[in-house]
């Protein structure tokens, strides 16, 4: 494998330019990632741990930012769902190469209400609704065509009337710690951390 040595030169992260609320900076960086034409700018790596403390990670899409945290949707019976059930502490990581930026978040995942999951589920294209409703996410399949057959059978049976299964819905991840990382030349990267306290977020700069 060739070793690539990339120099980060796109910007700086100065305290004087950072909003008091980390959510505001998160929104700003997301908008800038969209503006920079990043593929799937809302994609984030969700890390969970199983009951023995072993981590696993996968990408999910950010579908909302609220006072209660960062929202994503999935199958509650999936591997990630069962790991969150036994340990709600999770981490989320964004990486936008075009902007040389990373955001790392740590917090707890909490299921959102059925009503809110319904609102999102029924806003999706019909085929996506059917796919999420039929897929036994993370379970073993017997052949490459099995999931297509399940999808087509459900499409025929349900027509336009799909019901959100109880096991598919959203989580909100509260923020206990969030770090903004901006790449710099010679690996002297900027790192600004916000830690949640009873009096709001405490901000600090940490070494690269």
Binding-site ranges for ligand FMN (CB under 6 A): 40, 43, 56, 58-61, 72-75, 78-80, 137-138
Spatial contact of 165 and 178, defined as CB atoms under 8 Å apart = no
Q: How far is CA 66 from CA 69, 93, 154, in A?
A: 5, 18, 34
Active site residue 187: yes
User: Nearest approach, Cβ of 155 to ligand FMN (angstroms)?
Assistant: 20
**β partners of residue 191:** 181
User: Nearest approach, Cβ of 198 to ligand FMN (angstroms)?
Assistant: 32
Spatial contact of 121 and 132, defined as CB atoms under 8 Å apart = yes
Spatial contact of 55 and 49, defined as CB atoms under 8 Å apart = yes
Question: Can you give the C-alpha Rg of the chain in angstroms?
Answer: 19
Of residues 43 and 193, the one with the C-beta less far from ligand FMN = 43
Spatial contact of 83 and 50, defined as CB atoms under 8 Å apart = yes
Closest by CA to 164, choosing from 201, 113, 203, is: 113
CA 37 to chain centre: 19
Of residues 132 and 182, the one with the C-beta less far from ligand FMN = 132
User: Nearest approach, Cβ of 199 to ligand FMN (angstroms)?
Assistant: 33
Catalytic residue among 187, 191, 203, 205: 187
User: Nearest approach, Cβ of 77 to ligand FMN (angstroms)?
Assistant: 9
Of residues 56 and 204, the one with the C-beta less far from ligand FMN = 56
Of residues 15 and 127, the one with the C-beta less far from ligand FMN = 127
How crowded is residue 117: how many other Cβ atoms within 10 Å of its Cβ? 20
Give the catalytic positions in this structure.
187
């Amino acid at each position: 494998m060739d070793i690539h040595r990339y120099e980060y030169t796109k910007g700086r992260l100065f305290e004087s330019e950072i909003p008091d609320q980390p959510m505001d900076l998160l929104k700003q960086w997301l908008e800038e990632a969209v503006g920079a034409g990043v593929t799937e700018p809302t994609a984030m790596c969700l890390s969970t741990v199983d009951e023995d403390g072993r981590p696993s990670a996968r990408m999910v899409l950010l579908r909302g930012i609220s006072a209660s945290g960062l929202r994503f949707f999935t199958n509650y019976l999936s591997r990630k769902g069962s790991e969150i059930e036994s340990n709600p502490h999770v981490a989320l990581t964004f990486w936008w190469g075009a902007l040389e930026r990373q955001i790392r978040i740590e917090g707890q995942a909490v299921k959102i209400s059925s009503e809110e999951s319904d609102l999102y589920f029924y806003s999706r294209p019909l085929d996506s609704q059917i796919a999420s409703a039929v897929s036994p996410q993370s379970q073993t399949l017997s052949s490459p065509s099995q999931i297509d057959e399940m999808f087509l059978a459900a499409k025929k049976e349900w027509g336009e009337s799909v019901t959100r299964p109880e096991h598919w819905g959203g989580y909100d991840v509260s923020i206990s710690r969030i770090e903004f990382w901006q790449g710099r030349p010679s690996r002297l990267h900027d790192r600004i951390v916000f830690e949640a306290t009873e009096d709001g977020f405490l901000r600090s700069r940490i070494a690269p």
